[in-house]
Structure 1
């Protein structure tokens, strides 16, 4: 004759399993997930640069061969002028679209979200050295480049 099995043992095992899974979910959502999604630590001088750098989309930029992004190659320095603003002074909508997906670890993905209508601006805070070639999506002959470097001061 076989020994009877106790349903209490199964109940205790099930309770232990539920408690263990609950503890795992609490740890994951309370400690691991926020830590993994946190932005990196960046110095205040980089987050609040001394000045803003403005790139203008000039009138007539839509015409191939004309000037478009002015300046079309910009050298910016972290802590000095790494907050860059594109200002659309043209009477046509344009974009600021990276040639290749570009991400700043603090500010996220680079590139205007949709078009910049006449008078609109797009602003991006660069927090790490990088080179970013970009263009206007509807007018691919419009090209520019940002070179972000560490300030030597």
Structure 2
């Protein structure tokens, strides 16, 4: 009877030792989210591809204010000024290509591709 208990105990310990799936961290994209960091006067990544229905969040990591402003007319989205560590999010419901820029620093550009 003792060897049977040993097998159960070892089996239980092995089951407990298996790694568990971890949730995605804030910076990782999941099927319904995406992240763009504003750093060194650039949008990173400059082009982000997401699925329709995805929520994209921009986070300003610069010491200067920036905006996230749709280049389309009429504007699909516009963040207003984002100070350091401020964030702006927008949900892209329809497939398409969405170019954007910083209204404070127009040389800063990016594109969201929605499939």
TM-score, normalising length from structure 2? Answer: 0.68
Alignment correspondent of 1:52: 33
Q: Distance in 2 between matches of 1:100 and 1:86?
A: 18
Is 1:140 the counterpart of 2:106? The answer is yes
1:59-74 residue pairs with structure 2 within 5 A?
A: 60-61=40-41, 68-74=42-48
Alignment deviations for residues 24-81 of structure 1 (CA, whole Å, 9 cap, x no partner): xxxxxxxxxxxxxxxxxxxxxxxxx7442110001x21xxxxxx000011111125xx
The CA distance in 1 between the partners of 2:58 and 2:110, in whole Å, is 11
Q: Say which structure is richer in strand.
A: 2
| Aligned residues of 1:101 and 1:110 also touching (Cα < 8 A) | no
* RMSD of aligned alpha carbons: 1.7
Give the alignment of 1:1-153 within 5 angstroms.
50-58=31-39, 60-61=40-41, 68-78=42-52, 82-101=54-73, 109-112=76-79, 114-149=80-115
Q: Could you tell me how far apart the structure 2 residues matched to 1:84 and 1:50 are?
A: 11
CA-to-aligned-CA distance 1:88-124 (integer Å, 9 cap, x gap) = 0111000001112356xxxxx4121x10111100000
| Runs (5+) with no aligned partner, structure 2 | 1-29
- Report the secondary structure of 1:85's partner residue: strand
User: Relative to structure 1, is the Cα distance of residues 90 and 139 closer, same or farther in structure 2, using a 3 angstrom cutoff?
Assistant: same
The 8 Å contact of residues 83 and 124 in structure 1, kept in 2 or not, is answered as: yes
Structure 1 residues without counterparts, runs of 5 or longer: 1-48, 62-67, 104-108
Once residues 64 and 92 of structure 2 are traced to their aligned partners in structure 1, the CA distance between those partners, rounded to angstroms, is 27
Deviation at 1:87, TM superposition (A): 0.4
Structure 1 residue ranges (4+ consecutive) displaced by more than 3 angstroms after TM superposition: none
Distance in 2 (CA, whole Å) between partners of 1:128 and 1:51 is 13
Higher helix fraction (1 or 2): 1
